[in-house]
Structure 1
Amino acid sequence: MITRSADRDALLLWFGSRAGLLVATLLGASLSDYLAKWRAWDAGLFVVIAEHGYDGEPGRPPDAGLPAFFPGMPLALRLVHLVVPDWALAGLLVSLVAGAVATVCLARLAEFEGGAGWVAVLGLLVFPTAVFLMAGYSEALFLAFAVPAWLAARRRHWWLAAVLGAGASCVRITGLFLAVALIVEYVLAKGGLRQAAWLAVPFVPLAAYSFYHYRRTGDWLAWKSAQEAGWGRETVWPWESFATTWEAAMGEGDFAVAFRMEIAGAVVAVLALVWLLAMRRWSEFVYCGSQAVALMTSAYYLSVPRSLLLWFPLWTALARLRWKWVAVLYALVAAPSMVVNTVRFLSGAWAG
């Protein structure tokens, strides 16, 4: 049974952890310099799209990688920017509000599944790449749609799950994997044909986004072509992807550390998939497994640990463990890594 305390605990953990990171990272920096640090990497690209569209900044060469970013986050940025002049601050506020929604729904989902809501939220917030839930990235916004969509599906409210799933599809390509998983969940629940049409709704934003870029560039898969053009992420055999990543991880320097994190993230992903198979959680396996296949057949591992933030079945599984000391031990190990990774991100290093 879901209780009000689950919502309260989730919000306390969310806002408390955000305040802690703010204090830990703001010391010794002016506000303008501090905000500029949060505009690094993809956060800056989201701002470019929100401000100028997919053609990029006027007067500069077009960025072929921009179509890789779905329009949900830029649209949210543009909306908040109407009242918040600073783009970086607007991104932080979008993630702050979206993260609050996501963590409350994650706690409710965990309790609906028979677990402890606060454990699921804690597991998410101390994960080593959790800095991206605070930055102006799309992870928090995606979870704000995807987690309540899954909770609605588990409650058999299919129209609501479909509408929320469509919101997730506006934010990231991961919405495609969620849409497929919702179909699997519907079939397993023996939902019948009466409400099946709703399950097409999450695919509508994906089709609309593809059509938009087709009109711009003549490429129906512009988002995929952008991955290849911007980051060299062509599809290869999984052993080729692993070999390339391993070679990079055995080098020296900051990026070698990042690739070691990628390999560690891949190990966690494989273990999670084995567990989902063993527990016969088929729809969750489809959601996570399809992401794993996409990530591990790329030319090299990129953002695997960050993508694990979106694996809400991982956090609800942690919440269902009988031995709460395992969750505490996990937090003691993961939290310092999360703080270090936050500092790395704010220093301009690649953090996932």
Structure 2
Amino acid sequence: MNDGVRAAFRVRRGGFALDVAFMAPARGITALHGPSGSGKTSILRALAGLDRLDGRCTVAGEVWQDDDVFRPPHRRAVGYIFQEPSLFAHLSVRDNLIFGMPRRERRAQGAAFDETVERLGITGLLDRDPRHLSGGERQRVAIGRALLSRPRLMLMDEPLAALDPDAKDRILELIEELPRDFAVPVLYVGHDMREIERIAHHIVLVDKGRILAEGPLGRLQADPTLPLSAARDAAVAVDATVAGHDAAWGLLSLAVGEVRLLVPGEARPLGAAQRLRIAASDVSISLLPPVDSSILNSVRVAVAAAEPAGPAETLLVLDLLDAPGQRLLARISRRSFAELDLRPGRAVHAQIKGVALAG
């Protein structure tokens, strides 16, 4: 049975101790998120077999490491993407890509090679010298070489760190499509929650060599006991589908359960998946359905939890009544919290001042 990635690693080096155990689903993108020095890169290197730590690791039910087994890196079928693309300067782009392929496939190349370079948008770069490519182009080639190695697992260690904003956006779009187009699970290390909110499905929170929590992205974002909700830019990623488009006003209608949300945007195919980002600072509360308001989106919610957020604010966790299982965050003043009597379980209306497309 393909049960994704299951790993547990332990090591002590000087003053740093790593003791982690987690699971990453077999499909989609799992983000490893946490402060610098918390152990995220150590986890990736252990998964790749580059560092031999105490512990165990299975991928799709196959044992890569336990008390009796340790597969070396070349037998782990891992595609590893670093911050800086590690291309061979003396080889053309084509030869860099071929180098990553299994030996038995290098001569034939064929449809798999052509399809991969076309999907990555690097067909026109094949005869170029890697030294003359832009940062984004080099990273595309590095991803292509990793994919052509037929990996069972893709590991990405802050692959956007050295790129300008335009190149970051193009590479993010590419990474977002990897699980669908190439059916390979991805573990992605990133510091920027905006990146993670756009591409990740599952998240593992790491701090000081320990796992704070792991689970679906939206659920952990809306957990008031975790650091994600305490950030000033706290938000929840919401998965929606396209329900319509109002060309006259340039508004896209998106469905989340029985809820319909309007967001500025161009027409997209009906039923297409679309991820939204709803910031806690953009959600306000009303006891009654709002009337004559400039705010387009108002939804029925119930207060699930309330936590202090500094000396003057309260963080609310809100259940969408017409989209079971979906939660939002709202950061409001303590005074409003008290005057509206927003006790857990109370049904109210959430006005969403800003709904942003994630990407």
Normalised by the length of structure 2, the TM-score is 0.28
Which structure has the greater CA radius of gyration? 2
Q: Higher strand fraction: Structure 1 or Structure 2?
A: 2
Q: Higher helix fraction: Structure 1 or Structure 2?
A: 1
Bigger relative contact order, structure 1 or 2 (CA pairs below 8 A, ≥6 apart): 1
